[in-house]
Structure 1
Amino acid sequence: MPSEPAIASAPHLNIVPASVTPLPDAKPRRALKVCLLGYRSAPYGGGQGIYLKYLSKALVEAGHQVDVISGQPYPHLDPRVNLIKMPGMNLFETGLTSIRPHHLTSLTNIYEWMGKLTGAFSEPYCFGRRVLKYLKKHGRHYDIIHDNQCLSYGMLDIQKQGFPLVTTIHHPITSDLKIALSAAKSWTERLLIRRWHSFLIMQRKVARELHHVVTVSERSRMDIADAFDIQPAGISVVLNGIDTYEFRPLPNVIKNPNRVMAAVSSDQPLKGMRYLLEAVAAVVPKYPDLELLLVGTPKEDGESGKLIRELGLAKHIRAVSGISTEDLVRYYNEASVVVVPSIYEGFGLPAGEAMACGTALISTDGGALPEVVGDAAIQVPIRNSKAIAEVLETLLASPAWRDELAAAGRKRIEELFCWTRAAQQMTDYYWQVIQRENG
């Protein structure tokens, strides 16, 4: 039986445990009108889109009215959640050739266009401008505005306008920057990385002035405090959830004994793809029928694509992208082992999803992953392809051990990381914020 993580009993955290009755001044008395914000929110684009999808669903199921304001690519939401589209230029998908003269009649569009021209990531800044304008005109009926890591100057203006504002910071993007710089192979590549991450200057300034910040793990809380120079006591923690109704063991699915799966953003150094590929290459001689299923397609000319060719792994790789949640759940169920090779995770949703689906998990000890997986997965050090290979080889040869890990993982997620619990904790936090703002 997996043990509970240390954070479950840590008395200094700003968490309302599900087993404890909320304080009277935090107890909700009516349904809330909640507005969630996401500058780009497609669930296949990363953890922020998944967070928005499932938090909004859980809040609706808790009885609240929820609107989501999002830029492209838009989120996949429960039908009961109202999506308010806030389209931007979306130049990272459409490219500069999509620009037309009428696009440049807007100052915000010009900012976004100039950012793309100069290699910057200006979407969060521009989304903040657009949302501020919308909320000033249409948003006074909301009880709470909840920003999903936009951290733009517009959020400070929303706060100054008197809107009760909560901001989730999943983890400091400074971690991504450091890892990307350490993996860069030339000064020009480092220059481009620094330019793209220039939005961090804005995020640091904004984070320090926000009144109500929440994050998803104790590790993220400490890292955010350090990166943004905020007192840890000023950051609350509401643990992420996993939808255990969607992500579940499928009784009619037979596991493929030769399939290993990883849900990674293939060419982001943060996700540790290099170490996974090196580990698979080390295991293939003993398991020549091994298949590595990647959720996320490596670019042919990217680092992962080149490494796959160098290691002679092409025939062992199957990549899928843009898949439905139903397909993702089936893939988790079909795999014998899931590997999360990340160097850093603010939470680690793929780890939680794999455990919820009842599949044996190998996880690094990067970031908050130890908080999520506990002793219900095999943990290895970050940046250690040899350790991944050794554990993977042992697990492939041990069906009984895989079954034991699968059962422990499912139980851990059910007990500690369900969205119902997360929504209740977030609701309690909303009420604390509302009452503080109302004096």
Structure 2
Amino acid sequence: MSSDPTVLARDAAATGTAQVIPIDEARPHRRLHICLLGYRSAPFGGGQGIYLKYLSKALVEAGHQVDVISGQPYPHLDPRVKLIKMPGMNLFETGLGSIRPHHLRSMTNVIEWTSKLTGGFAEPYCFGRRVVKYLKRHGRHYDIIHDNQSLSFGMLTLQKLGFPLITTIHHPITSDLDIALKAAKNWRERVLIRRWHSFIAMQRQVAPQLHHVVTVSERSREDIAAAFGMQPAAIQLVHCGIDTDEFRPLGNVPKVARRLMATVSADQPLKGMRYLLEAMAEILPRYPDLQLLMVGNIREGSEVDQLISRLKLREHIVTVSGISTEQLVHFYNEAEVAVVPSVYEGFGLPAGEAMACGTALVSTDGGALPEVTGDAALQVPVRDSASMAKAIDTLLADADLRRRYELAGRKRMEDIFCWQRAAGQMLDYYEQVLRSENG
């Protein structure tokens, strides 16, 4: 019987026996040329763009050559990382009216436009088609192709063509769909939500056929296995990292009294903004100068926008968006308390970033957040605004307790979740995959 960890994973997937796949201690002995793929990778459009930015940087710093192929909106990358732009139609920013006659010469463009016209989301599928065409011509020199959750049919094509392919799945989007459906107000909203998430059918077909899958948390491993009919043993775990050199305490930045901070997509039910707003309203009589700095946008007339008006919180909330990483770190350092109110997280980068900056944190127990925070944050149940209010109140009222959590959070990120450690584990996995592909 083979002792190779990847072969063991395949055997486990076939037999249904779960096991933990060990990470080798040895690092790769040769310089790799790595290609990372991302169908949309804006650094503030979600965790996937952040993942590409910092994983590529850490791999370069470990001595490897890294290219990133990305659709729009493009990532912000370290200057040592080469960006290969793979433009699509980017209809979520340009709108349906942006189509021009020359676009119709491409069947992939027609598919993307037609899908958006009917309420669908075809970007991952179309990105896969474009990447296959490009890599067939220009990609044979890469040692590893690492896809960041496009989970498109194109990835299966690359695998069949013999490319050494690895796929990161951050968490199953089925979780997003379930939460969005529960938050829908009527059947029309549910129809639109189901249509937009129709790409999940492709993911359900693709994921079980991929040979090498990696995820970012134990909770995500369990949820991916359940959602896509896979064995947990066939999914490698490599935690995300936090750039602890970039996200760090700034000794010259004073705290702003009674300031909370949240990095959240306000209009996504998954992110739990409603519960944070309700918690704020509950403690506002005790802290009339309470302020929330929210990194993200609130759409005018949205449910969250209406809730802010109902709870009379408008003057207590400041929103910022499109800011630099330096500004983000500055804001974390100014906040007395950071809050992550999410109903579900496959990892929880905002929690890790706040802790790395030495900011006391209140976090829900949604998804993988307990894995990230451990005992270095105050943890509350999901969808429990009363418990969240109590936890925020506890930290605002006790400077010594805040200081203990500030120190504990920073230490946890340095010890467990720095990107150097994450990149080292990923490189070990690359080497396992290459041995299995070549053996």
Task: Tell whether the structures are fold-level matches, with TM greater than 0.5.
Answer: yes
1:341-356 equivalence runs, <5 A:
341-356=341-356
Asked if residue 14 in structure 1 is aligned to residue 15 in structure 2, the reply is: no
For 2:319 and 2:283, locate their aligned partners in 1 and report how far apart those are by CA, in whole Å. 19
Q: Is the 8 A contact 2:34 2:143 kept in 1?
A: yes
Within-5 A mapping of 1:150-169 = 150-169=150-169
Q: Which whole-Å CA distance do the structure 1 matches of 2:30 and 2:406 have between them?
A: 40
CA deviations 1:12-45 (Å, max 9, x no partner) are 43352xxx733xxxx4111100000000001100
For 1:164-201, what per-residue CA distance to the aligned partner results, in whole angstroms no more than 9, with x for missing partners?
00000000000000000000000000000000000000
String of CA shifts for 1:130-172, please: whole Å, max 9, x gaps.
0000000000000000000000000000100100000000000
Secondary structure, aligned partner of 2:354: helix
Seen in structure 2, the aligned counterparts of structure 1 residues 310 and 414 have a Cα distance that, compared at 3 Å, is: same
Report the 3-state secondary structure (helix = DSSP H, G, I; strand = E; otherwise coil) of the residue aligned with 1:370: helix
CA contact under 8 A between 1:15 and 1:425: conserved in structure 2? Answer: no
2:8 maps to none
State the alpha-carbon separation in 1 of the partners of residues 422 and 360 from structure 2: 24
Which 5+ residue runs of structure 1 have no aligned equivalent?
A: 1-10
Which whole-Å CA distance do the structure 1 matches of 2:78 and 2:48 have between them?
16
Q: 1:295-335, CA deviations, whole angstroms, 9 ceiling, x for partnerless residues?
A: 00111111111111111100000000111000000000000
What are the within-5 Å matches in structure 2 for residues 80-229 of structure 1?
80-229=80-229
Q: Is it true that 1:336 corresponds to 2:336 in the alignment?
A: yes
1:140 is paired with a residue whose SS is coil
Identical residues among aligned pairs (%)? 72
Question: Could you tell me which residue of structure 2 aligns to residue 3 of structure 1?
Answer: none
For residues 156 and 302 of structure 1, what CA distance do their matches in structure 2 show? 39
User: Which residue number corresponds to residue 267 of structure 2?
Assistant: 267
- Point out 4+ residue stretches in structure 1 off by more than 6 angstroms: none
Matches within 5 A, 1:30-49: 30-49=30-49
Amino acid at match of 1:14: I
- State the 1:438 CA deviation: 1.0
Matched letter for residue 405 of structure 2: L
Which residue of 2 is the match for residue 6 of structure 1? Answer: none
Q: Aligned-pair distance for 1:341?
A: 0.4
| Aligned position for 1:254 | 254
* Amino acid aligned to 1:80: R
What is the one-letter code of the residue matched to 2:279? A
| TM-score of the aligned structures, taking structure 1 as reference length | 0.95
> Are residues 1:405 and 2:409 paired?
no
CA contact (8 A) 2:172 2:223 kept: yes
Aligned to 1:231: 231
The equivalent of 2:390 in structure 1 is 390
Q: Do the aligned residues in 1 keep the contact of 2:91 with 2:116 (CA within 8 Å)?
A: yes
User: 2:136, 2:176 → 1: CA distance?
Assistant: 33
SS in 2 for 1:43: coil
Work out the CA distance in 2 between the residues paired with 1:363 and 1:386. Answer: 13
Q: Which residue number corresponds to residue 4 of structure 1?
A: none
Matched to 2:298, the amino acid is: P
Contact persistence 2:39–2:123 (CA under 8 A): yes
Distance 1:397 1:234 in 2: 47
Matched with 2:15 is none
Partner secondary structure for residue 361 of structure 1: strand
**Count of residues in correspondence between the two structures:** 422
Aligned partner of 2:317 in structure 1 is 317
Distance 1:304 1:430 in 2: 43
Q: CA separation in 2, counterparts of 1:304 and 1:294?
A: 13
Distance 1:184 1:353 in 2: 31
Q: Is 1:378 paired with 2:382?
A: no
CA RMSD of aligned residues (A): 0.9
